[in-house]
Structure 1
């Protein structure tokens, strides 16, 4: 059997949300349907500003009587503070969860090795006899599995499950090639939007769930096709891998976007829609957009008198 790998995502951590109102509280905060979260089901969602701008991306899971939001480790206190502002009289308790690691598991048969069904994004189940939780990445088949595991046992438990340790860059290249964002590395805080970043096609927004913070702009962008940029993967065809933050230019020298993250000849960048088919440059590198088949671009608008 071909190797499957695990990478400890040290930049990700957990915020615990406990209390009897935990689901109804988060339902009014996050972009996805939190009532769907269960011991066997995880979802991906965003916390937005009231103006619909990006703040945090989270994977929401349930273990016991607690919901856990897997988010950026260095920004968990910010996530907690922003959620706390809306708590009012809701019976919820928010706390950064200590003693946990988040691992990404990827490669052929990653789901089946853990007993998870294949081609079922968001499927979840206990890991290692209930010591942790494994869930298929809710965004896209082929993205792999996320595993929440106690810190002191992370490596041994994952290796006992048949996985080989891999460097962070190997996982990073895997998710970049698929076009999957990784929090604020790829989505600019208080500037980016959910739909520019793929939350619609990647099952991160529920447009039927009712109100949540930032819903108005998100719905307007969806139904009016207002997005002008998209976060997309690119492949370096010549030259060195560009650094994050490098501007993308068209052959005519027009600014087409910005590289958000890059590794080993692959990049994820926010690109203006009108330049997706052009050869682009970033510093000394030449790149092409490799638009994934899951991306649904807005239909071109017919000219009107308005």
Structure 2
């Protein structure tokens, strides 16, 4: 069992009689599926369909809790306030007594937590917990690790996160795997950017995806070019050292990566030689005709 404290995450409370309706018409996920025992994952998009903010969503009583990067939490709160208009919705940034934690290697529920739910993105990520960190650690009988432990766990599973693996307002939900990780509802009504997302999904035109990269050498910072024959085929995300192996994520053009693999062309992330593979959860594959392109 591993418990990790995530001080780089903040919580925004969304309450009021119209909170559900407000969020349902705004974000990519289906808010109807979010309950006191089941969380959600989604994003607020730009009108052009790019990810402006990504987050996890929980429900505690009649209030929704948005678990989002602390670095941009104030910006998200301002954006939600902009969209609120005359809706009967209360918005506030929770104080630091409300901590975000991740738990894996145990499915134990946590009575001292305000929220304790399975991570809605992927079962193997474990549980997501919101509440008083000291009380939660005492109840579980373990001292929490730092965020590095969680990110190593997440990276090994191939799950990207905003700001850790990509900058906001630059990529589309399909690029970041939201369609694969329960982050987009294709059956609910309209939301900001919905037309673009729906068009990409139904036309099957998603060409870039996050994949796993591995190297015997240190992997460079996010945004470094991944190259084949000296030409960029994508950029790197976050990375971690797991023993003698360095693993990371990279957003690649699948057709160009597959063509390089078929042709035996070495791939590099910066100066580090890398191998690439698809995450185990991926419902997409390598393009079959990539070598011919």
Count residues with an aligned counterpart: 278
- Structure 1 SS opposite 2:58: strand
Q: 1:173 aligned to 2:156?
A: no
1:164 Cα deviation from its structure 2 partner: 4.5
CA distance in 1, matches of 2:18, 2:252: 40
Q: 1:141 aligned to 2:123?
A: yes
- Structure 1 SS opposite 2:124: coil
- Cα distance change, pair 156–94 in 1 and its aligned pair in 2 (3 A): closer
1:37 Cα deviation from its structure 2 partner: 1.4
Alignment partner, residue 210 of structure 1: 189
* Matched-pair contact (CA < 8 Å) for 1:240–1:284: no
1:97 Cα deviation from its structure 2 partner: 0.8
What are the superposed Cα offsets for residues 162-204 of structure 1, whole Å, 9 maximum, x if unpaired? Answer: 4443233222111011111122222321111101111111111
What are the superposed Cα offsets for residues 76-122 of structure 1, whole Å, 9 maximum, x if unpaired? Answer: 11111111111111100110011211011122xx11x22xxxxxxxx
CA distance in 2, matches of 1:159, 1:177: 28
- Cα distance change, pair 297–91 in 1 and its aligned pair in 2 (3 A): same
Q: 1:270 aligned to 2:251?
A: yes
Q: Which region of structure 1 is more displaced relative to structure 2, 47-56 or 81-90? A: 81-90
- Structure 2 SS opposite 1:195: coil
* Matched-pair contact (CA < 8 Å) for 1:32–1:204: yes
- Structure 2 SS opposite 1:192: coil
Alignment partner, residue 119 of structure 1: none
* Matched-pair contact (CA < 8 Å) for 1:54–1:187: no
Unaligned runs of 5+ in 2: none
- Structure 1 SS opposite 2:190: coil
Q: 1:248 aligned to 2:248?
A: no
Runs of 4+ in 1 over 4 A off after TM superposition: 298-302
Alignment TM-score, normalising by the size of structure 2? 0.89
Alignment partner, residue 103 of structure 2: 105
CA distance in 2, matches of 1:160, 1:25: 35
Alignment TM-score, normalising by the size of structure 1? 0.86
Q: Which region of structure 1 is more displaced relative to structure 2, 260-269 or 210-219? A: 260-269
Unaligned runs of 5+ in 1: 115-126
